[in-house]
Structure 1
């Protein structure tokens, strides 16, 4: 697709997947954040079974068809389920905010609405990023004040047990004791201190944005149950729109051409953008 950036500059961690053509005003920034064991492209990519059909990165290939004025980005970070890296939700959220500020400054338009899209752990990082942007004002004031929507795909607001996270990337029978657990894996345990802290910090901010939470309809093929069940994926806030979406934990945010599940997603993004600027789109 024209104007998609397939070759990413070395050292950049906030990847621009679609930039509106020259002369077309950028009316909204869409920022996607993948989850545990995810990837800034693969998490959002539908690969057809048995090679039938096209591989579809919906952030680049489908969303601009609905929202041609959207500047679409995807955050890349080390989310390995087993890693020796120093991983923390707070540090990763801070990095996301800094990179987003740099890109918005580059285009000299820091008043565009921002809609964040998070899958699994990505939703937790987004919530912390919004708190970080508010606390670090005025440096990041535009990010805080212009964020209009948060779209969550199977985000474990209350966590899940370790076995469910392990099943995402390996056979559940593998020995977990042979590899160092990542900081993210520990943070996502049910009722972890990190999750409790992020939730408490986010509550005062939740009323100023449109919230959409999608929870997974289908079970994980290894677990035989959802990785993140509805009780964890839904925050229960008054302004939260809740919807079950087809697919297991990985497939819930992967849409191919003609996938009807994509319809409520792009519409939620558009509604969120319109909250700040009703005349958009």
Structure 2
């Protein structure tokens, strides 16, 4: 949340001319080869670059680590007004902010690519609310929700934070914003949002990765393990030796970096496959009943990895099989040790094989004459 990152903001108002609008900054772009989007979403009193120490792709940090893992990536960072004090600019209610951010993303980002959200603190709550809004309320943004394939939560207070209660108790002094009220411990709206997220997640193709802080920030554990845990079966939060402010900014390639890299590779489809079969071998080894489903899975993989020749060769091979739907098909044999030759048309391969066969027959006949 960054609630303690700048107490000066309570007494030094931000001028209206300095309050930047909601903006999605493009920090790295692989152009037409991009295979996924990544969006960083900061928390309370955060900053699109400083929260994450996004200093550039050449120096150690998230940009360098992510592009090293998956170069074909578009990396964005969201900037939006989210101050803990009304004197410093205040904040929108989270429902209104979710529509504001969805509209901003829709105007900039290609939602045909898989998207991963990396969220710090309140940013994780906003991510969940964006999903809820786009699926249940503002359905014109549903393509964005359906593009989200992964969310990384770093210190997200799913059930609130005691620090928000503390700040709200001194409202006359702090003039705390609506965002602080939304973060109060066990706030009913937060509990309801997390229940919706847990129930709906089983119907969405979204992977989750969770980290939480184990060190105090100025004497207070801002988001404890219980609040950071969204309570999703199979998702085990990972404790980090950092306070709330340093949780999103690792200085070395520690467990946060390595797990996020593996998480991104998995979603991008570049992680080593768990099974040992090549795409063509998967088709050949499929039963007649399973074959159509196998081809559909390979087609989905190829849509995510359009430059993967093995997947394209497998689809070409499947097309030549002319898979029937209601009658038995003859199974074609294939030498699994020999890959298909790139994008060569099948008829050229037939011609080449006939020429080679003719040459072998000619050589054999000559050899027979020599030994007569």
TM-score norm. by structure 1 comes to: 0.79
Q: Counterpart of 2:145 in 1: which secondary structure?
A: helix
Question: What is the distance in 1 between the residues matched to 2:126 and 2:253?
Answer: 30
Question: What is the distance in 1 between the residues matched to 2:91 and 2:156?
Answer: 22
2:188 is matched with 193
Q: Is structure 2 residue 207 aligned with structure 1 residue 210?
A: yes
> 23, 27, 37: which is aligned to 1:29?
37
Cα distance change on mapping 1:241 and 1:113 into 2, 3 Å: farther
Unaligned 5+ segments in structure 2 are: 1-19, 272-296, 306-372
Question: What is the distance in 2 between the residues matched to 1:164 and 1:267?
Answer: 37
> 100, 105, 115: which is aligned to 1:100?
105
Answer yes or no: is the 8 Å Cα contact 1:148–1:273 preserved in 2.
Answer: no
Q: Counterpart of 2:117 in 1: which secondary structure?
A: strand
Displacement, 1:145? 1.5
> 24, 28, 34: which is aligned to 1:18?
28
2:69 is matched with 66
TM-score norm. by structure 2 comes to: 0.61
Cα distance change on mapping 1:278 and 1:137 into 2, 3 Å: farther
Answer yes or no: is the 8 Å Cα contact 1:111–1:146 preserved in 2.
Answer: yes
Query: Which structure's residues are more often helix, by fraction?
Result: 2
Question: What is the distance in 2 between the residues matched to 1:11 and 1:179?
Answer: 24
Displacement, 1:36? 1.1
Answer yes or no: is the 8 Å Cα contact 1:114–1:273 preserved in 2.
Answer: no
Q: Counterpart of 1:268 in 2: which secondary structure?
A: helix
Q: Counterpart of 2:150 in 1: which secondary structure?
A: strand
Write out the 4+ residue segments of structure 1 that deviate beyond 4 Å after TM superposition.
54-57, 163-166, 257-260, 275-281
* Cα deviations by residue, 1:104-163 (Å, 9 ceiling, x for unpaired): 2xxxx4321111111000000000001112125652222122211111001000111136
2:177 is matched with 182
Unaligned 5+ segments in structure 1 are: 1-9, 48-53, 167-174
Q: Counterpart of 1:235 in 2: which secondary structure?
A: coil
1:245 is matched with 240
1:155 is matched with 156
Greater Rg by CA: 2
Displacement, 1:87? 2.1
Answer yes or no: is the 8 Å Cα contact 1:41–1:57 preserved in 2.
Answer: no
Answer yes or no: is the 8 Å Cα contact 1:89–1:125 preserved in 2.
Answer: yes
Question: What is the distance in 1 between the residues matched to 2:38 and 2:180?
Answer: 26
1:125 is matched with 126
Displacement, 1:191? 1.2
Q: Counterpart of 1:44 in 2: which secondary structure?
A: coil
Work out the number of aligned pairs and report it. 251
2:360 is matched with none
Residues 37-52 of structure 1: pairs in structure 2 closer than 5 A: 37-45=45-53
Residues 101-116 of structure 1: pairs in structure 2 closer than 5 A: 101-104=106-109, 109-116=110-117
Q: Counterpart of 1:250 in 2: which secondary structure?
A: coil
Query: Which structure's residues are more often strand, by fraction?
Result: 1
Displacement, 1:38? 0.9
Q: Is structure 2 residue 145 aligned with structure 1 residue 144?
A: yes
Displacement, 1:86? 4.7
